[in-house]
Amino acid sequence: MTAGRPPVLLTLVHGSAALVAAVSLAVTFWSGLEDRGVAVAFGVLIAVGELTRWTGAQVREAAPLGAAGALSYALLGADAGRATQHGVAQVVAVVVAAGLLGSVPHIWRGGGRTPDHLARRVLSTGFAAVCFQPLYNQGVFTAWGGPAYALLLLALLALTALCDAVLAAALRHSRTRWPFGPLLRDELRALLGIGSAVCATGAVMALAVAVVGLWALPVFCVPLLLTQLSFRRYAAVRATYRQTIASLARATEIAGYTPAGHARRVAALSRAVGRDLGLSGRDLTVLEYAALMHDIGQLSLVDPVPAGATATLPAEEQRRIALLGGAVVRQTGVDGAVAVVVERQADPYRQQPVAARIVRTVNAYEEKARDAGPGGPLTALEELRLATAGEHAPDVVEALARVLARDCLTLPRAG
pLDDT of residue 18: 93
Taking residues 305-321, report their average pLDDT: 73
Contacts of 54 (CB under 8 A, 6+ apart): 62, 63, 228, 232
Question: Can you name the residues that pair with 83 across neighbouring β-strands?
Answer: 78
Across 4-8, 200-204, 238-242, 283-287, least confident range: 4-8
Contact 356, 350 (CB under 8 A): no
Torsion of CA 69, 213, 22, 68, to 10 degrees: 10
Would you state the CATH architecture of domain 250-406?
A: Orthogonal Bundle (1.10)
Question: Can you name the residues that pair with 82 across neighbouring β-strands?
Answer: 79
Taking residues 86-105, report their average pLDDT: 91
Instruction: State pLDDT tens for residues 4-29.
Output: 456 788 889 999 999 999 999 999 99
Count of residues making up the chain: 415
Q: How far apart are CA 118 and CA 120, in angstroms?
A: 5
Q: How far apart are CA 228 and CA 236, in angstroms?
A: 12
Number of Cα atoms under 13 Å in the Cβ half of residue 125: 35
pLDDT at 315 over 80: no
Contact 36, 43 (CB under 8 A): no
Alpha carbon separation from 26 to 17, 89, 94, 96, 268 (Å, rounded): 14, 9, 12, 12, 46
Contacts of 104 (CB under 8 A, 6+ apart): none
pLDDT of residue 308: 61
pLDDT of residue 166: 92
Amino acid occupying residue 250: R
pLDDT of residue 230: 79
Taking residues 152-177, report their average pLDDT: 88
Instruction: Give the end-to-end CA distance of the chain in Å, rounded to a whole number.
Output: 20
pLDDT at 415 over 70: no
- List the one residue out of 134, 128, 152, 136 whose CA is nearest residue 71: 128
pLDDT of residue 125: 94
More confident residue, 39 or 112: 39
Instruction: State pLDDT tens for residues 111-153.
Output: 657 788 889 999 999 999 999 999 888 888 777 777 888 888 8
pLDDT of residue 26: 95
- pLDDT > 90: what percent of the chain? 19
Label residue 30 by pLDDT band (50, 70, 90).
very high
Taking residues 42-53, report their average pLDDT: 88
Alpha carbon separation from 84 to 63, 73, 204 (Å, rounded): 26, 11, 17
Q: Which helix (H) or strand (E) holds 122?
A: helix 114-137
- List the one residue out of 342, 201, 333, 178 whose CA is nearest residue 266: 342
Torsion of CA 337, 342, 344, 350, to 10 degrees: 80
pLDDT of residue 58: 57
Label residue 393 by pLDDT band (50, 70, 90).
confident
pLDDT at 270 over 70: yes
pLDDT at 97 over 90: yes
Taking residues 401-415, report their average pLDDT: 59
Q: How far apart are CA 214 and CA 38, in angstroms?
A: 7
114-137 and 64-74 helices cross at what angle (nearest 10)?
A: 20
Q: How far apart are CA 199 and CA 332, in angstroms?
A: 39
Q: Which helix (H) or strand (E) holds 327?
A: helix 315-332
Contact 79, 214 (CB under 8 A): yes
Label residue 307 by pLDDT band (50, 70, 90).
low
Instruction: State pLDDT tens for residues 332-387.
Output: 777 788 888 888 888 887 888 889 899 989 988 888 887 666 667 787 888 888 87
pLDDT of residue 1: 42
pLDDT of residue 240: 83
pTM of the model: 0.77
pLDDT of residue 95: 94
pLDDT at 413 over 50: no
- pLDDT > 70: what percent of the chain? 89
Residue 195 has what DSSP assignment? I
Mean per-residue pLDDT over the chain, rounded: 83
- List the one residue out of 70, 62, 112 whose CA is nearest residue 231: 62
Question: Can you name the residues that pair with 79 across neighbouring β-strands?
Answer: 82
pLDDT at 411 over 50: no
Label residue 178 by pLDDT band (50, 70, 90).
confident
